[in-house]
Amino acid sequence: MKVVKIGGEILSDMGKMDILKEYAEKNFPAAVVFGAGIQISERLKNENIPFRFYKGERITTKKMLAVITEEFRKAASVITDIFAGRGVYVEGGEIFVARRKSENLGFVGEVAEVKKDKPEEILSQNKIPVISPVGADSSGNLYNINADVSAAALAGSFRAEELFFLTKVSGVLDSAGVILSEISAGSIGALIEKGVVTGGMIPKVRSAANALAEGVGRVLIGETVIL
């Protein structure tokens, strides 16, 4: 089993979408977890819905959740189309059991548990699960969850052979702009503290470390991979 995660910035990049398709099909059984941050921000701006971030995460209200889930459905349609009937969209609330992460973030959650039966059923039909980063609690409340975190949780629950973060950048870079070809889980904290790993790469490397701790074989971060 392999898991590939893509962000919303990939959806309009046909070259990267071709890589996604080839990776998932050549490495089957595989699952896709996706984000749509760019699309969500644009939609909120267009509808004059104010939003802000707290410690790098979008504060999410119930009103915003309706927009977020709709944008996830649109993104899922783009992704499933490239698999020509083989991709099956699953709302993350059917898979990720969530709990509220912080009162400061509103309806932002973290993964408490992964229900594996739905993706296992789809994989058994020789199809590819395409999963949104949303979770639900026992009362049915939905929570927006970071897509990197969601992908790592899914990969960890299956003890996946590999987790691949497909990005628009070439990989994790050092302060001189040189790709770090290999990073140990133990060095991630120091790299963040020294400012070598910054911005959107921080949740990726932290999620990578969590996935490795849960038994994932290896994690790749970059714009392509040798298939």
Q: Phi, psi at residue 121, to the nearest 5°?
A: -65, -45
Q: What is the mean pLDDT of residues 61-86?
A: 96
pLDDT for the residue numbered 191: 83
pTM: 0.92
Return the SS3 of 144: strand
Q: What is the pLDDT of residue 179?
A: 77
Domain boundaries, the chain: 2-167+216-222
CATH class of 2-167+216-222: alpha beta
Q: Which helix (H) or strand (E) holds 76?
A: helix 62-82
Q: How confident is the model at residue 226 (pLDDT cuts 50, 70, 90)?
A: low
Rounded to whole angstroms, the Cα distance separating 165 from 216 reads 13
